[in-house]
């Protein structure tokens, strides 16, 4: 990838931390940010558009993508497969646009193995009490499910060491400010800028 290629931002964190909400707010602020479209074997829901919400695949097509290493990560949930197509990400980055991938922690670690040049952001809760309150606040979880999610969240927080940045999601707008600052700083890194100046010097 050239120095003018976009950044792959991988936003991840425990369930209930607000990844989807932050990602939505960020995309509203930064319409140029491309949301990574996942592939799935589940049936389209009413109003979902191919290539916008998901790339809809048969199980055979999806398994072929796994075999051909055409996915940056994949997982199986409740009998359906979900994954991130490598080609969509690479083509978008090559066009100079930044891509954001909102994903579970296990998926993010898979992406890191295949695409280590990505920027890995861990979205953290202000504290575990707040995370517990957010999960309970959904009103959809049983006591047992809440316990499972909390123990999973603790295990995921221990994996924070694999990330480049930690962003606390206390107030959505503040979390977006922090992520925008990270994107700006990453674009200003010397390794991404120096080739332009070398080119100028050659032309002098």
- Is-contact 9 98, C-beta < 8 A? yes
Average pLDDT over the chain, rounded to an integer:
91
Spatial distance between the Cα atoms of 137 and 159, rounded to a whole number of angstroms: 25
pLDDT tens track for 174-198: 999 999 999 999 999 998 888 888 8
- Give all domains of the chain, ordered by start, each with its CATH number: 8-36+98-203 (3.40.50.300)
pLDDT of amino acid 3: 64
pLDDT tens track for 21-30: 999 999 999 9
User: Helix %, strand %, coil % for the chain, to 5?
Assistant: 50, 20, 30
As beta bridge partners, residue 11 has: 102, 121
pLDDT at residue 120 is higher than 60: yes
Contact partners, residue 6, CB within 8 Å, separation at least 6:
34, 92, 93, 94, 95, 96, 97, 98, 99
Record the pTM.
0.87
- Is-contact 113 60, C-beta < 8 A? no
């Amino acid at each position: 990838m050239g120095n003018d290629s976009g950044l792959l931002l991988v936003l991840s964190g425990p369930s209930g931390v607000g990844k989807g909400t932050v990602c939505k707010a960020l995309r509203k602020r930064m319409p140029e940010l491309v949301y990574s479209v996942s592939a799935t074997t589940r049936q389209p829901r009413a109003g979902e558009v191919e290539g916008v919400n998901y790339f809809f695949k048969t199980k055979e097509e999806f398994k072929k993508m796994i075999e051909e290493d055409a996915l940056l990560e994949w997982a199986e949930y409740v009998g359906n497969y979900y994954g991130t197509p490598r080609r969509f990400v690479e083509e978008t980055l090559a066009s100079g646009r930044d891509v954001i991938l909102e994903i579970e922690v296990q998926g993010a670690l898979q992406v890191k193995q295949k695409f280590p040049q990505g920027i890995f952001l861990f979205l953290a809760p202000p504290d575990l009490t707040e995370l517990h309150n957010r999960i309970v606040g959904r009103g959809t979880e049983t006591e047992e499910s809440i316990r499972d999610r909390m123990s999973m969240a603790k295990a995921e927080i221990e994996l924070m060491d694999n990330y480049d940045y930690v962003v606390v999601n206390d107030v959505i707008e503040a979390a977006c400010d922090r992520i925008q600052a990270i994107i700006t700083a990453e674009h200003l890194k010397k390794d991404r800028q120096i080739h332009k100046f070398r080119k100028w010097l050659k032309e002098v």
